[in-house]
Structure 1
Amino acid sequence: MDFDCSERTRDLIARLDTFMEEHVYPVERERHEFVIDPANLWKEWPGLEALKEKAREAGLWNLFLPHEYGHWSPGLTNLEYAPLAEIMGRVPWSSEIFNCSAPDTGNMEVLAKYGSPEQQERWLKPLLAGRIRSAYVMTEPQVASSDATNLEMSIVADGDDYVINGRKWWISNFMHPATTLLLVMGKTDFDAPRHAQHSTIIVPKDTPGITVVKHQRVFGSLNSPGGECELRFEDVRVPRGNLILGEGRGFEIAQGRLGPGRIHHCMRSIGQAQRALEIMARRVENRVAFGRKLSDQSSIRQDVARGFCEVEMARLLTLKAADRMDKVGNKDAKDLIAAIKVVAPQMAQNVCDRAIQSHGGMGVSDDTPIAEFFTINRFVRIADGPDEVHMSQLGKQKIREYNASNAR
């Protein structure tokens, strides 16, 4: 494994760092104040489109899409993208500036990998151009959706259409004003083998029969402008041509979608942890309590040192997972993807917790981004599968693997 950045990656890192310094960090507070103002609920900050245009012009666009997606991709590997996603993660909303934000990234990968030419023309192209946004509609309130085979929404063929009925919740990005497209997972055959019952279908957001049951708060926030929603689908009718790949392929699509999404979360988590550690270091160097700088306290130095070690370990595991994905594919790298999905958000949560403590009361305010980083990573420990599911599957895989080995 060689984790030295290629010349192309070094150039992109330098350009992205410059872009963040010149265009993103200076407006971070302005954007934050806009989106938390109740008068601006479900509205995007007005300065976003200008920044997206600057990012396009700078060649910092769609960097997430791996090279194996051919002409749709800018040609980066997962390993090359990792340090770029880390930089974007330092300001969590900034990924959208570069058209690299979830859930759009996963939906674009699905359409690029599995979509028909017609689906790609109608939906993938405007997503890649950043003209529309999307949501992934999977989780359901009445079942444990961490086991995707539990999903019960029905997708029933009826003439030239499919008719969809059921409930979904924690649907991120549904309220975003640019969201036009939903990728919906449900059952097309309740009697098929367990992993062949589900399908994934494209549903335009404005299709009749979709109702917002409630807006769901995450740690007290509505997360405008995208939000999380509980939805009801009642006799929602879409054309048969909206089905992706074919009936019974939904579980396969979901697994293919979630692997890259999980590691992207981890890349951004590392950026947040790194920034929290840097903010902490500056704070303790400039704060005096009981006649001594906080940075002179041994316990504070140990917290900074521990944070550095943890960030570096998680970063290396992320790079190893990305390198494995590039060399052998997502399926054969699933052990490392699971491992880093468990490690990175918990690591970021720990680092942020210490950074919060070193700031005292300021740490739990929004005067710094650290409290937001903490809550994001607590949420990420559930998003795309909770820690317990990843550890259970990883443990099962390693027990089987080690018992098959003759090593002593």
Structure 2
Amino acid sequence: MHAWPASEVPALPGKGRDLRIHDTATGGRITLDPGPVARIYVCGITPYDATHMGHAATYNAFDLVQRVWLDTKRQVHYVQNVTDVDDPLLERAVRDGQDWTELAERETALFREDMTALRMLPPRHYIGAVEAIPGIVPLVERLRDAGAAYDLDGDIYFSVDADPHFGEVSGLDADAMRLLSAERGGDPDRPGKKNPLDPMLWMAARPGEPSWDGASLGDGRPGWHIECVAIALDHLGMGFDIQGGGSDLAFPHHEMGASHAQALTGEHPFAQAYVHAGMVGLDGEKMSKSRGNLVFVSALRRDGVDPAAIRLALLSRHYRSDWEWTDQVLADAVERLARWRAAVSRPDGPSADALVEEVREALADDLDSPAALAAVDRWAALQGAEGGTDEGAPGLVSRTVDALLGVAL
């Protein structure tokens, strides 16, 4: 599966800072010091209704991570999946009378268009669940043969007791996990499971649903968590730098994925940091497909909203915050974009050397994009009030905003 085209990232003078980021597993900030190649895995969409502002906010956060690392002169090995076969996708296809593969392909194409418009840097590897199945089956077989998985009426379940580190990613107790498992695709009340929290690794073929040859597992399709584990281990290996996604993925998805990988390899941890973006709400509720309260990037684009303004709206809120999308948030972003473009359109201005370092420091400090925007605001205000004599300043500001914030002025 192909990703989307990359926009050019301007080179800035000097060198960026190492990233200090909040790690869900430890509950505090850690300083990441990757080697020459930084490794990141971000969980992708289930393509049945893409791309709403919650998606955009999450991928914007991890785009900033890439940009901070690139500014330290590292390479970035970024991997993202597409869950292109799953219950929600199949249910939507049935509801709308569509072929599920056509629905997935259409929504994935729309997601690519939105990511391109928002100037999100693409992953090096963009992998669909379906194309990953040949690599998933052997992992499930290994877990079963090692006693870390078991058969229940043809379905294969992972035993969470097989991983002594289970629970360390989310830090939740068993009762909280059980509630969230029921809400987020698990089946804690299914009779016959060894532990209510045990997740499915391989679902035996159901009538009227797609299935694939699972070798000794029988025909079926993969569970949600093992999909990402197979892709991450194949392309990044154990101990990669960041496992990322929305905060609703900390449990069960990232918790279960870490345990799958740790049981498979005997190594710990799966990722050095588990980084989670906050939820975006609308009308007082989390923006989600199930609630139908979605604001789509593509709809805003069709209405003529500049994608740079959409990106600035996302950047105006800290990535870990839960926040509300409103017309005013977008209006403020449109106005800010106009001010910045007016400021850099002049032939000279106040020195921008300090601004570059302010933006770098803000983003290195747990991706503090509001502080980075405030720094550019101050330069633009000074440009408007006093101007300056540095002929290179407007160009340097433009390159800084482009390289570090992904906004083209």
* TM-score normalised by structure 2 residue count: 0.24
Q: Which has the bigger relative contact order, CA under 8 A and spacing at least 6?
A: 2
Which structure carries more helix by proportion? 1
TM-score normalised over the length of structure 1: 0.24
